[in-house]
Structures are given as structure tokens and as C-alpha cells.
């Protein structure tokens, strides 16, 4: 299947090139396009990169909040959503998601352990699991937690309808293996 990711940010980033180099088509979705009713691309997944909640880096958080219903419909129809750290001390930065999630900003390397049965464990396949940069933890979540640093959650996963939401504080690009699997899982969906 020819997978296509929507990368949500105001300008093209190196992450877009990484996605394309992983064999996934990548479409930049600006904050203004996110809520535009005429913008209807067909995507396999939507990627929200690190820093989305920090006004020093982006103006994305208000757009995510305004588009939360559209994003939820996309996931429920089978699209996948990959969200990284907000990179700001704002516990409510994820209030646009359809489940409770409270974020604690605290950037430093961590040792990450994954549930052995979790498909998400490949997200750090290209890194030393004993020293992975993370920009925080999740203190409250109503989701599965396959990725932890000690007792702290650094990756949570929730199935909604036919799609999956993965939220992580890992402050590194995901492995190509993980990205290819996640973006090719499920059918392409009109956003």
C-alpha cells in the first residue's frame, strides 16, 4: 500500500524529509489548513511533532483544539495519529485529544522499557534504550501504556474506532521500521 502521512506544522521541517526517506509520502498541513473544510487529503496517518504546544516554536495548539473533532473522526475512520511532546510546561497541552492526558515537561535522557508484546517497542529500534531523550512524562492518562521510564509513562496508546493514537514524549525521530509500520497500518482515510 502507498502510505501517506500528514505532517502538521507551519513550515516544512527535516522530519518531513525523514518521513519521505522512509518510503512514506509526506504532505505538510499548516495550522490554517487543519480546519479548512475544503482541505480533504487522503492520508494513512497524521503526525504532530515535538514542540506543538510551545508558543515559542509554534502556533499549532489553538489549531489542534479547533480541529479536535475532525482529528477524532479521522482516527475513528481508520487513520492513525502520532503525537510527540508538547515541549512546554502546560499540563493541558493535550486537551484536544479525545481522552484525558496530563503532561509534565521535564527534558532529559531516560531508560525506556516497553511491554514485550507491544508493537510500539520498535519506535526506539535505532537508539540505545538506556539513554533516550524524552521531553517529559504523562502523569494522567486513560490509555494503554506500553512505554515507561520506571513508573513514569513516556508512550501511551489508545484505539479509537478503527484507528490508533500514539502519544509519546520521546524526543527523537521514530525508527524507520516503526514509521513504515504505523503509517501503513490500516486503509488510507479522507481527512
- Where residue 186 sits, what CATH number does that domain have? 3.40.50.880
What is the pLDDT confidence band of residue 104, given thresholds at 50, 70 and 90?
very high
Tell me how many domains the chain contains: 1
**If you search the block for the grid coordinates 519506535, which residue do you land on?**
123
Please state the pTM of the whole predicted model: 0.95
Residue 91 pLDDT: 87
Q: What are phi and psi of 97, to 5 degrees?
A: -80, 155
Residue 105 pLDDT: 94
Q: What are phi and psi of 110, to 5 degrees?
A: -140, 155
Q: Is 96 helix (H, G, I), strand (E, B) or coil?
A: coil
43: containing domain: 4-190
Sequence-distant (≥ 6) Cβ neighbours of residue 5 within 8 angstroms: 19, 24, 25, 26, 27, 43, 44, 45, 46, 47, 183
Please, what is the average pLDDT of the chain?
A: 94
Of residues 79, 170, 75, 78, the one with CA closest to residue 120 = 170
Q: What are phi and psi of 46, to 5 degrees?
A: -120, 130
What are the pLDDT digits (tens) for 78-96? 999 999 999 999 989 999 9
What is the pLDDT confidence band of residue 158, given thresholds at 50, 70 and 90?
very high
Detail the DSSP E strand segments found in 51-119: 80-83, 101-110, 113-114
Residue 186 pLDDT: 80
What are the pLDDT digits (tens) for 22-67? 999 999 999 999 988 899 999 999 999 999 999 998 999 999 999 9
Amino acid at each position: 500500500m502507498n502510505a501517506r502521512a500528514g505532517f502538521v506544522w507551519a513550515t516544512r521541517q527535516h522530519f518531513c524529509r525523514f518521513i519521505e526517506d522512509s518510503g512514506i509520502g509526506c504532505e505538510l498541513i499548516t495550522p490554517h489548513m487543519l480546519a479548512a473544510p475544503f482541505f480533504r487529503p487522503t492520508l494513512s496517518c497524521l503526525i504532530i511533532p515535538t514542540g506543538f504546544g510551545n508558543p515559542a516554536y509554534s502556533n499549532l495548539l489553538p489549531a489542534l483544539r479547533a480541529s479536535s473533532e475532525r482529528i477524532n473522526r479521522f482516527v475513528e475512520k481508520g487513520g492513525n495519529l502520532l503525537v510527540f511532546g508538547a515541549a512546554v510546561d502546560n499540563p493541558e497541552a493535550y486537551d484536544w485529544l479525545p481522552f484525558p492526558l496530563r503532561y509534565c515537561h521535564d527534558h532529559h535522557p531516560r531508560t525506556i522499557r516497553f511491554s514485550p508484546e507491544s508493537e510500539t517497542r520498535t519506535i526506539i529500534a535505532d537508539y540505545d534504550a538506556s539513554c533516550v531523550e524524552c521531553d517529559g512524562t504523562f502523569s494522567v492518562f486513560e490509555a494503554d501504556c506500553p512505554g515507561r521510564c520506571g513508573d513514569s509513562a513516556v508512550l501511551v496508546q489508545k484505539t479509537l474506532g478503527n484507528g490508533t493514537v500514539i502519544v509519546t514524549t520521546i524526543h527523537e525521530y521514530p525508527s524507520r521500521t516503526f514509521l513504515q509500520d504505523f503509517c501503513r497500518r490500516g486503509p488510507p482515510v479522507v481527512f
